[in-house]
Structure 1
Amino acid sequence: MMDKYFCPRLVDYILIVGSRHPNNNNNVAQTPELLRRYPLEDHQDFPLSPDVIFFCQPEGCISVGPKRMSLRETTSFVYTLTEKDSGKVRYGICVNFFRPIERKSSDKSKSLSASWADDNGNTDQERRKSPKTKRKLKTANRVRNNTLTSLCIVTHHPFFSTFRECLFILRKLIDACHDRSCTKRIGGSKAISRDTVWGVLTGQGTDNLTGLVMHEVKEIETWVLRLLSAPVPVPGKTRVEVQVLPKDLQAPLLFALPDHTRFSLIDFPLHLPLELLGVDTCLKVLTAIMLEYKVVMQSRDYNALSMSVMAFVAMLYPLEYMFPVIPLLPTCMSSAEQVSVLVK
């Protein structure tokens, strides 16, 4: 029996997926785009598939209005990428959230705001001096929409919960750097540049980056590159501790793998199908899988769906499922049921 391939990298890629130019039509899905990737070059033994963007945002990139605040909650899920010929499995751990963006209102809104100011008899100078009027005019000319954004780690190693924590920390770091640069720019320099940290990371930056924004982006990229350079623990012998934040804020993240002669690492709730489907239904599904029937599962919860599929496969132990397993199939990818045989 051939030994399974063991990747020496803890993390293969870190991705940011979304839309460079979110539309103004709420709830209309756009094709996701790869906004930023680390590293920039492909690994020789594992080139990044262009279809990975569809797995990060299975239903497309959606923009929602400012009133849909409940949709801004962060969600996370796992998907797999499998090579058809070699059978090598890679995992994608994804964190999705709605990121606020500003867009200018239509000309109609601008004319309404201007007529409102004129009806009150205020001159241009008086409007500038009035903080209340200035805030109203500014709000009238800008509308904050929210666009779906994904942070994703692609790896050979199923440290799902730990990598999910890394992505949550990365998002907090980007938000903090973004807010800090915006606050300092407003309070200090009056430069015309409207570049932001999130704007640069999502491909909306210009050539006139301020030193402050550039510094914050470099700090984030340094953090990302340090995570990418982390080694993999030797199964059953060593462990790797990765310090993602200062020790006084958070303890180092621990990575360790069991020996190859023992059970493989299962970093997800194995009992989830029993909880969601019940014992009787689970036994029927397991029977169908063992009899080599084609089984299709459907759910609006990406994480519950992918975890349940992987749990069913793990429950077959000591048997091994020898056919393609697709925990998550993107609906926005054309001919997904055919492409997924190559990349699933």
Structure 2
Amino acid sequence: MTEEKCPQLVDYFVVAGLDPAGPWRPLDEEGKTCCSTSSSSPSSSSTLAGRGAVDPVTDLAVIAKGLGEEVPEGFTCIERTLGGHSAELSAGLINNPHLFLCYRRGRDKPPVLDLGVLYEGKEQPKQSWYVIETTPYSRSASLCAGSAPTTHRVFLTYRRALDSQGLHTLGVTDIALLLPGKGEVAPHTFCRVDKNLNTGMRAVAKANALVYEASLISRYPEDDLEAFPLPESVPVFCLPMGVTVESWPLNTKYQLPVFSTFVLTSACGDKVYGAAIQFYESFPRELLSERQSVRLGLLSVVDRRPITSRSLQAKKSICVLSHWPFFTVFQKFLTFIYRYSISGPHVLPLEKHISSFMHNVPFPSPQRPRILVQWGNVCVCDSGASFLKLLQNLGPENACTLLLAVLTEHKLLLHSLRPDVLTSVSEALVSMSFPLRWLCPYIPLCPLQMADVLLAPMPFVVGVHSSYFDLYDPPTDVVCVDLDTNTIFQSDDKKPLSWRSLPRRHGKTLFNTLTNLHKTLEKICTPGQEEATLEFLLTDYDQIYRRQKQLELEIQEVFLRFMSCLLRGYRSFLLPITQAPSDTTTDCSSLFNLQGERWHCVST
């Protein structure tokens, strides 16, 4: 009897980016490749990063038009709401000064990150937040000016990015005002401030950049595995927003690598998990044409003189493919490889560590459930789903609502500006209905080039980058879930989904328990903790995240208990099979007592 072969931990190691040898395929405004494929072609320099993106918002001001104040130079005044009504901030006040909000875009200072409202006397200004107390003409900018006492004044506030973070910070790119009483709602990717105002759409404040389609630079092993050939689309999933070539000021600090994950599903339903780290590295100027250098600000427009105060950087990605969703382990391994590549010199070559991890690290088994690797205490026993991130980004009410959407097989579109969150939340979303399995199309990180899948006439769970909404309007029958703003957008043509449609007693228990766990989660997870440094990623995971891991198990248990209660006694509703399999005998009505099961669900 032959011994069964142990599964392999990693199938492929891939490096994706912009191959200096070419060809370079620029992306057009819809994220699709243009006709030109030459790196020296003038047309290849015409594609800028952001695809329709605008400069981030850097300054805010409040002006009193009723007192003769004019819009400051370079500023834009918001005069209308999203529904076309007046956007006056002080409407209805006695001695109304007719206050309006103005903003300025630019790249001369770090972008604005958040907007808020301060009720003076009732709360203290937050640390590192600016309060707009006066107009540019030194008059009071209180939204209650003229009628309220001093202790009841209301001011707009905002928070700005640090100088070292301004280049790649998630900042405000657009601002809109809305009147909920007039039926106006916040658009996709906008974050609503429930106090008074609606903050702007968030996007990454990018540098001057050119965008190209990602290509395969190198891979290991070089030959395809017989059971699993390397998919050609892997580079596109490693860098779903394309490869950016950017020019930075010389004093700009390098952005920390960004970890992202994706899942590829074969025709037979088998899943292949990918984990990737995106980072920047220097790129030779000699490979750029003159027009490309001008567009990137590396040559002066008039005399074509080289500008030495800027550096050239290009995005690259390293990735591993596996049939197992050990995302936390892969993140630590890829982080180690990245740090190893930028430090040195080292005794062992980088390739030695890669081949050792792929071929020498044993697969976990019941006899050896924990595998420790020499370059760090890494436990190879994790899953790709993160119920903790699901509850943290959705909250208890939306989490229960999406459970209902999965059970009733709706079309779900998840979107975020954080690629690492998309897959972990998507995996948790399709896992929360265990022991039931999601057998419909599932693409947790879908490149914009493949966004046509949203037109499929069947249920699906798809995750995309939030910039999708800059290019397209989603189909009306798709439920859109914004993970960055904790918002669910549903069509007005159908009855909106609500967690209250779940079986009453068990649904209420589920909601109340998740609410208590969410309060605990808010206490132990401070904002910004997810954006860890490289050194932090290589420390002992169990020691730092012990409480979070325990909370992860508690959240999983809540959903498992709900599904157990929901499916309790289902065997009594099975009908005996009395005929050979056919189209009619395998129909649900021939296998289940559906009417009795409905009454069972209602009674529970």
For 2:143, the equivalent position in structure 1 comes to none
Pairwise CA distance, 1:88: 1.3
Q: Given the alignment of the two structures, is residue 274 of structure 1 paired with residue 391 of structure 2, yes or no?
A: yes
Q: Percent identity, aligned pairs only?
A: 22
Q: Please give the alpha-carbon distance, in whole angstroms, between the structure 2 residues aligned to 1:227 and 1:286.
A: 37
Which deviations, in whole Å up to 9, do the C-alpha atoms of 1:152-183 show, x marking residues without a partner?
A: 01111111111111101101111124xx5xxx
SS at match of 2:210: coil
SS at match of 2:412: coil
For 2:223, the equivalent position in structure 1 comes to 41
Q: Please give the alpha-carbon distance, in whole angstroms, between the structure 2 residues aligned to 1:285 and 1:89.
A: 22
For 2:259, the equivalent position in structure 1 comes to 76
Pairwise CA distance, 1:280: 1.5
For 1:16, the equivalent position in structure 2 comes to 15
User: 1:287–1:111: structure 2 CA closer, same or farther, 3 Å change rule?
Assistant: closer
For 2:106, the equivalent position in structure 1 comes to none
SS at match of 2:249: coil
Q: Please give the alpha-carbon distance, in whole angstroms, between the structure 2 residues aligned to 1:80 and 1:151.
A: 16
Q: 1:28 aligns with which of 196, 210, 215?
A: 210
Pairwise CA distance, 1:151: 0.8
Which deviations, in whole Å up to 9, do the C-alpha atoms of 1:188-235 show, x marking residues without a partner?
A: xxxxxxxxxxxxxxxxxxxxxxxxxxx98x811122111121354353
Q: 1:169 aligns with which of 332, 336, 342?
A: 336
Pairwise CA distance, 1:93: 0.6
SS at match of 1:296: strand
SS at match of 1:27: strand
* Runs of 5+ consecutive residues of structure 1 not aligned to the other structure: 116-136, 181-214, 246-250, 257-264
User: 1:39–1:323: structure 2 CA closer, same or farther, 3 Å change rule?
Assistant: same
User: 1:161–1:60: structure 2 CA closer, same or farther, 3 Å change rule?
Assistant: same
Q: Given the alignment of the two structures, is residue 94 of structure 1 paired with residue 261 of structure 2, yes or no?
A: no
- Give the residue type in structure 1 aligned to 2:325: P
Pairwise CA distance, 1:67: 2.7
Structure whose residues are more often helix by fraction: 1
Q: Given the alignment of the two structures, is residue 254 of structure 1 paired with residue 379 of structure 2, yes or no?
A: yes
Pairwise CA distance, 1:266: 2.7
User: 1:316–1:284: structure 2 CA closer, same or farther, 3 Å change rule?
Assistant: same
- Give the residue type in structure 1 aligned to 2:422: L
Q: Given the alignment of the two structures, is residue 51 of structure 1 paired with residue 233 of structure 2, yes or no?
A: yes
Q: Given the alignment of the two structures, is residue 61 of structure 1 paired with residue 243 of structure 2, yes or no?
A: yes
Q: Please give the alpha-carbon distance, in whole angstroms, between the structure 2 residues aligned to 1:159 and 1:228.
A: 13
Q: 1:146 aligns with which of 299, 310, 313?
A: 313
* Runs of 5+ consecutive residues of structure 2 not aligned to the other structure: 25-38, 40-44, 49-207, 464-604
**What is the root-mean-square deviation of aligned Cα atoms in Å?**
3.6
User: 1:174–1:282: structure 2 CA closer, same or farther, 3 Å change rule?
Assistant: same
- Give the residue type in structure 1 aligned to 2:319: C
Q: Please give the alpha-carbon distance, in whole angstroms, between the structure 2 residues aligned to 1:328 and 1:110.
A: 34
Pairwise CA distance, 1:73: 2.2
Describe how 1:100-119 pairs up with structure 2 within 5 A.
Answer: 100-104=282-286
**Contact kept in structure 2, 1:63 and 1:147, CA below 8 Å:** yes
User: 1:6–1:292: structure 2 CA closer, same or farther, 3 Å change rule?
Assistant: farther
Q: Please give the alpha-carbon distance, in whole angstroms, between the structure 2 residues aligned to 1:269 and 1:79.
A: 14
Q: Please give the alpha-carbon distance, in whole angstroms, between the structure 2 residues aligned to 1:335 and 1:244.
A: 44
- Give the residue type in structure 1 aligned to 2:336: I
Q: Please give the alpha-carbon distance, in whole angstroms, between the structure 2 residues aligned to 1:143 and 1:72.
A: 16
For 2:356, the equivalent position in structure 1 comes to 226
- In the superposition, the TM-score normalised over structure 2's length comes to 0.39
Pairwise CA distance, 1:241: 3.8
SS at match of 2:329: helix
**Contact kept in structure 1, 2:298 and 2:310, CA below 8 Å:** no
User: 1:97–1:233: structure 2 CA closer, same or farther, 3 Å change rule?
Assistant: same
**Contact kept in structure 2, 1:74 and 1:95, CA below 8 Å:** yes
Which deviations, in whole Å up to 9, do the C-alpha atoms of 1:20-76 show, x marking residues without a partner?
A: 238776422101011010110111111000001111001111111123946722110
SS at match of 2:351: helix
Highest CA radius of gyration, 1 or 2?
2
Pairwise CA distance, 1:101: 2.1
Describe how 1:257-336 pairs up with structure 2 within 5 A.
Answer: 265-333=382-450
Q: Please give the alpha-carbon distance, in whole angstroms, between the structure 2 residues aligned to 1:7 and 1:52.
A: 25
- In the superposition, the TM-score normalised over structure 1's length comes to 0.66
**Contact kept in structure 2, 1:231 and 1:240, CA below 8 Å:** no
In the alignment of these two chains, the number of paired residues is: 263
- Give the residue type in structure 1 aligned to 2:261: V
User: 1:300–1:280: structure 2 CA closer, same or farther, 3 Å change rule?
Assistant: same
Higher relative contact order (CA closer than 8 Å, sequence separation 6+): 1
For 2:105, the equivalent position in structure 1 comes to none
Pairwise CA distance, 1:150: 0.3
Q: Please give the alpha-carbon distance, in whole angstroms, between the structure 1 residues aligned to 2:211 and 2:299.
A: 30
For 1:127, the equivalent position in structure 2 comes to none
Q: Please give the alpha-carbon distance, in whole angstroms, between the structure 1 residues aligned to 2:241 and 2:363.
A: 36
Q: Please give the alpha-carbon distance, in whole angstroms, between the structure 2 residues aligned to 1:142 and 1:20.
A: 26
**Contact kept in structure 1, 2:299 and 2:307, CA below 8 Å:** no
